Structure 1
Amino acid sequence: MTVGTDWATAWVRGTIDTVSEHRAELISLDREIGDADHGENLDRGFQAVATKLDTLTPETPADVLKMVASTLISTVGGASGPLLGTAYLKAAGSIAGKTELGSADIVALLTAARDGVVLRGKAEPGDKTMIDAWTPAVEAAAAAEAAGADVPAVLSAAADAAEKGAADTEPLVARKGRASYLGERAIGHRDPGAQSSSLILREAAIAAGEK
């Protein structure tokens, strides 16, 4: 099984909806250890994506992801705009020119997205950032693909691992971003970027037909 432009479009539409639905939750998480603006900024960015998506006639999945990248970078404040924008941009580059994506392409896409976040934010696993969702997602996707899983199963494995990774940020001391100023006071709070990343990755799996 492969997925194409329709999947990428459905993934983005699902992300628009889930970010809006979880806006207050993300604001609350960020209020505990950040600026309380993560949910608001992300929702504003993806509402801008929604407007552009309605006028887009993409030929490839990369066309969709590139539009998301440029929109987030230009409209989302704080760190999340550049970080997620770079993730989508690098993901698009990894599948440039392809109209159909198999399991290996999905692993390459997720890996490039994760590496884009690392490139921009310089974070590592354990720093209590969105990397703590993206890295286990990439590792789980790669393991699933190596075991012969199809695209929905690869994406589902990635989403499951991202959700666990986000939850696992709660006992961590933040080493990057505004939360790092709190020291041990950040313990017990989930990283909002990891949580929003897990929501985004779940929508990728749902768009592929996750059961």
Structure 2
Amino acid sequence: MGCTAEQVTRAVIEAAGVVAEHRSELIELDRAIGDADHGENLNRGFVAIVEALAQASPQTPGAVLKIAATTLISKVGGAAGPLYGTAFLRAATKLGDRSEVDVEALVEVLRAALEGVQARGKAVEGDATMVDALLPAVAAAEVAAKGGADVAGVLAAAAEAADKGAESTVDLVARKGRASYLGERAIGHLDPGARSTALLLHAFAEAAQ
């Protein structure tokens, strides 16, 4: 059983609610090592996505993700817009005109999103960025899929791995973004992009239940 455009739309709307709920937390995480704008930027972007989806009524999962992508890229500044926008755009491109997202497609979508983020931000594992949450999430999704998990199970495994990956950034020296200017002073701080990545995956997993 795959996820239709309507279900993917609901998942994105649920993610918008989670971003709004954690807006202040993300702002404070970013205040410690960056511009304090991650939570505000991401929240503004997802509010705009919800509005765009309501106006467009997309008919395929890929169309839903493309609207999310173009909205983030056009409406959100800082790193969040280009990185998440690219992630959603790569995912939308991978889906094409498929009518549903099944387990196989989901794994491909997550992998495409990761590759998009890495291509855009040039970050690798250990740089203390959202890649440190997304990379283990994709790996966990692949393992879960091979083990016979359904879409909800694959997303739950990805979210749990993203949590652990995000937590790992606390002990890392940031090598990308504004946090990299702090050098070893960034140690002890959770990367806001890694945290928001985990939050989004948890929202998608909850929506898929």
- TM-score calculated relative to the size of structure 2: 0.98
Deviation at 1:101, TM superposition (A): 1.7
Secondary structure of 2:171's match?
coil
Matched residues in 1 for 2:200 and 2:193: separation? 11
**2:6 maps to what in 1?**
6
How many residue pairs match? The answer is 209
**1:116 maps to what in 2?**
116
Provide Cα deviations, 1:110-130, integer angstroms capped at 9, x if missing partner.
000011000100000110000
**1:193 maps to what in 2?**
193
Which runs of 5 or more residues in structure 1 are unaligned?
none
**1:129 maps to what in 2?**
129
Deviation at 1:187, TM superposition (A): 0.4
**1:179 maps to what in 2?**
179
**1:155 maps to what in 2?**
155
**2:101 maps to what in 1?**
101
Matched residues in 2 for 1:208 and 1:9: separation? 11
Which runs of 5 or more residues in structure 2 are unaligned?
none
Deviation at 1:7, TM superposition (A): 2.1
Stretch of structure 1 that moved more, 2-11 or 31-40: 2-11
Matches within 5 A, 1:40-55: 40-55=40-55
Matched residues in 2 for 1:23 and 1:151: separation? 27
Matched residues in 1 for 2:16 and 2:69: separation? 14
Matched residues in 2 for 1:208 and 1:20: separation? 20
Q: CA RMSD in A?
A: 0.7
Matched residues in 2 for 1:136 and 1:7: separation? 25
**2:91 maps to what in 1?**
91
Provide Cα deviations, 1:10-54, integer angstroms capped at 9, x if missing partner.
111011101111000000000000000100111111111121111
Deviation at 1:3, TM superposition (A): 1.4
Poorly superposed stretches of 4+, deviation over 3 Å = none
**2:67 maps to what in 1?**
67
Matched residues in 2 for 1:175 and 1:10: separation? 35
Secondary structure of 1:149's match?
coil
Secondary structure of 1:99's match?
coil
Matched residues in 1 for 2:7 and 2:140: separation? 20
Matched residues in 1 for 2:118 and 2:88: separation? 13
Deviation at 1:4, TM superposition (A): 1.4
Matched residues in 1 for 2:40 and 2:107: separation? 30
1:144 aligned partner, one-letter code: A
Matched residues in 2 for 1:47 and 1:148: separation? 35
Secondary structure of 1:169's match?
helix
